[in-house]
Amino acid sequence: MSDELSQLPQAERCTNLLCKGLYLNVGQPPGKRVTGDGNFWCGKTQTIIGPDRNFVGDGECRHTGRSCYEGNT
């Protein structure tokens, strides 16, 4: 399953950003999802507030300028 997780289109987001969809859509055929993203949380802090004390989310965690942002490169 971990290989499939890594193939999900999450490259633009901070790699620490987690959401329900990552754990429900795993294993689905390419392009198919059984649910949307759902609610987000930070994998580092395990809350909706990131290490920099700002909120996390799909929009909020695409900013490479955030001090806590970690890309997949």
Partner 1 sequence: MAEERKFGWGPRKDNVLIGKSIQRIDGFEKVSGKAQYTADINTPGTLYAKLLTCTHAHAKLKKLDVEPAKKIPGVRAVYIFPAGDLKAEGAGEIFWDGTLIAAVAADRPEIAEDGVKAIIAEYEVLDHIVDEEDLKAAEAKGATKAVGKNAKGKVEDALKTAKHVHKGYYGVHTISHMCLEPHGTHCEWKADEVLDIHASTQNVSGLAGQFAGPLGIDAAKVLVTANFEGGGFGSKFAADEWGIAAAKMAKETGKPVKLMLDRATELKAAGTRPSGYIDVTLGADETGKIVAWDSHHWGSGGISGGSIPVGGIPYVFDFENRSRTATQLNCNVGPTRAWRAPPHPQLCILTHCAIDDLAMKMGKDSYDVFLTNLEQTAGTAAHLPETYKAEMEIAAKLIGWKEKWHPHGKDAGKGAVKRGLGMALHTWGGGAGGCACNVKIHADGSVESFVGSQDIGTGTRTVIAITLAETFGLPLTAIKVNLGSNQYPASAASGGSITVGGVSGAHRRAAQTALWKIFDLVAAKYKVDAGTLAAKEGSIVSGDKKVCTWKQASMLLGPMGLETKGEGPAEDGLTSSRVGGVQMADVSVDSETGIVRINKYVAVQDCGLIIDELTAKSQIYGAVIMGIAYALSEERVMDKKTGRYINADLQNYKLPRIGDIGEIVVNIYQPDSEYSRGVIGLGEPPVISPGAAISNAVANALGVRVPVVPLTPQRVLAALSKSKGGAA
Per CB under 8 A, residues contacting partner 1 are: 1-2, 4, 16, 18, 20, 22-29, 34-35, 38-39, 41, 43-49, 51-57, 60, 67
42 φ, ψ to 5°?
A: -90, 130
Q: At its nearest, how many Å lie between partner 1 and the CB of residue 5?
A: 9
Least distance in angstroms from the C-beta of 7 to partner 1: 12
The answer to whether the beta carbons of residues 54 and 60 sit under 8 Å apart is: yes
User: Closest separation between CB of residue 21 and partner 1, Å?
Assistant: 9
Partners of 41 in the β-ladder: 18
At residue 5, φ and ψ (nearest 5 deg) are -60, -40
